[in-house]
Structure 1
Amino acid sequence: MRLEDFENEDERVIRDRMKQKTWNEIRSNDSWAIFKIMAEFVNGFETMGRIGPCVSIFGSARTKPDHKHYLLTEKIAYSISKAGYGVITGGGPGIMEAGNKGAHAGGGTSVGLNIELPFEQHFNPYIDSDKNLNFDYFFVRKVMFVKYSQGFVVMPGGFGTLDEMFEAITLIQTKKVAKFPVILVDREFWSGLFDWVKATLVEKYQTVSPGDLDLIRMVDTEEEVVQVLDNFYKKYTLSPNF
């Protein structure tokens, strides 16, 4: 087997181009990419700075509109918007669409932070027209999620959802961002993972402190989500309309 046998067309094109370029040329292209990265940050900051208090909703792009997680996400987003928060999603289909749809139905701010992906990403129709951003860089997009969210609601999803969830938890744990609620929806889905975290990372290997698990709340209903958000911001004498 050769490396080429596992490559897709884009990877083949990149490999062929790299063969034709010197190392200095490659480094020069990296330097020019800084300006594109800066442009994404500037556009993101200017747009997101005007959205008001919001909660980010994460979850699978593959969830179908008739699935229980899609329907529950729609209810959660509706309840969040009625409680005074806007909703930020990744702007695509599945759970993201459900989040924007619920926020739109509730009359709340509906934000989409989209990114080009090979097989599953496209804008959904429930995003406010002036709050629909597109990104090339995952790390710029992640900054927007964290910087402009008053909480994270994490629905069942795959690797991307896990990445976003653990990054948020890590940033709070290390005090790189202010503490905010991280709410995992569907105890049945999440409990196995966090049973392993507790038994293996906390108790057996002590690579995670017991108190770090206090950053996470597991719930099953839209009422519980809103209650966690309200309780958190009452404790810190803040409200979604500050």
Structure 2
Amino acid sequence: MNENELKKRHFYRAKEEAKFADNSEISTPQTSDPAYRLAFQDKDFLLREELRPVRFQLELLKPEMLLEEAGIESTLVIYGSARIPEPAKADALMDAATDDRSREIAGRLKEKSKFYDEARKLARIASECGIVEPDGKRHFVVCSGGGPSIMEAANRGAQDVGKESIGLNIVLPHEQAPNIYVTPSLSFQFHYFALRKMHFLIRARAVAAFPGGFGTFDELFELITLIQTGKIEPLPIVLFGKDFWNRVINFEELMLEGTISPSDLDLFHIVDDAEEGWDIIRKFYDLPCG
């Protein structure tokens, strides 16, 4: 073999350069100072305030590249509370309640525990649909926030039928870990909420929003705003829990107050069960499975 044959690359790759730069056997004042580290290996440098734009770019690129390499073309995004228990654990909340207010809250959470099963069922239906293009690109891969409760149910439903699912976790001041049902190679951790929300929607072809709090509302209303203002094309948005959504938000009054248009009420659908929700998605895209 000719050592001087033409090659695709003339420069060494970054991994190779990093090995060349390993000066562990050489210890001098110069090589020991942080200034001598390669910039891309210098964690302290990368965490400087001035490097925030670089960290933004890295947090955008890493999930995008890995999802592309995994052949994930589109997703079914499932939003929802981190506090709603699965039915088997709902009674424990009631037992822990110590006063009237906490008992009422526990009771309402117990009522909503049925949506854990509905989220799990929806994820199972979408995953079983298993739309795969000839080139291997996969569609309607389940994607959640990677946390507990409704998010856990989403990832669990995909695992029930042996399919992969995505978890987009967020670093918080209190301890947080991805639920055990997220596919490990598709489990991502974010520092920036903005980048996390962007990744929820880059591949989303349908979104299901289950009962939730500030986080769920933030994610849902940003999506509705993007469609309302024409920043993205319409896609199915399915809200689960008629009693919940009609009680906590009076969409009709928003319209009557003139702050949204009557047609804005058509941007989403409110349902109670997984079959009805998936049917809306299926009909929107004329999917072969139902």
Aligned residues of 1:48 and 1:148 also touching (Cα < 8 A): no
**Residue equivalent to 1:231:** 283
Identity of aligned residues (%): 38
Secondary structure at 2:196's aligned position in 1? helix
Deviation at 1:120, TM superposition (A): 6.5
In the alignment, what sits opposite 1:126? Answer: 181
How far off is 1:178 after superposition?
A: 1.7
**Which amino acid in structure 2 is aligned with residue 197 of structure 1?**
F
The match for 1:171 is: 226
Give, in whole Å, the separation in 2 of the partners of 1:121 and 1:209. 39
Unaligned runs of 5+ in 2: 1-46, 88-112, 131-139
2:62 paired residue among 39, 43, 51: 43
Deviates more, 1:115-124 or 1:77-86: 115-124
Give the alignment's Cα RMSD to 1 decimal: 1.9
2:68 pairs with 1:54: no
Count how many residue pairs are aligned between Structure 1 and Structure 2.
207
1:71 to 98, 117, 129: 117
- Counterparts of 1:78-157 in structure 2 under 5 Å? 78-84=124-130, 85-119=140-174, 121-157=176-212
Aligned residue for 2:151, secondary structure, equals: helix
Bigger Rg, structure 1 or 2: 2
Give the counterpart letter for 1:74 in structure 2: R
How many Å separate the matches in 2 of 1:188 and 1:119?
31
Report the alpha carbon displacement of residue 121 of structure 1 after superposing the two structures with TM: 3.1
Structure-1 residue corresponding to 2:51: 32
The DSSP-based 3-state class of the residue aligned with 2:185 is coil
Give the CA deviation at 1:186: 1.0
Q: Where does residue 198 of structure 1 map in the other structure? A: 252
Three-state SS of the structure 2 residue aligned to 1:92 is: coil
**What are the ranges of 5 or more consecutive residues in structure 1 without an aligned counterpart?**
1-27
Q: In 1, Cα distance between the equivalents of 2:173 and 2:232?
A: 31
Q: Name the TM-score, length of structure 2 as normaliser.
A: 0.67
Rate the CA distance shift 1:240–1:53 in 2: closer, same or farther, 3 A: farther
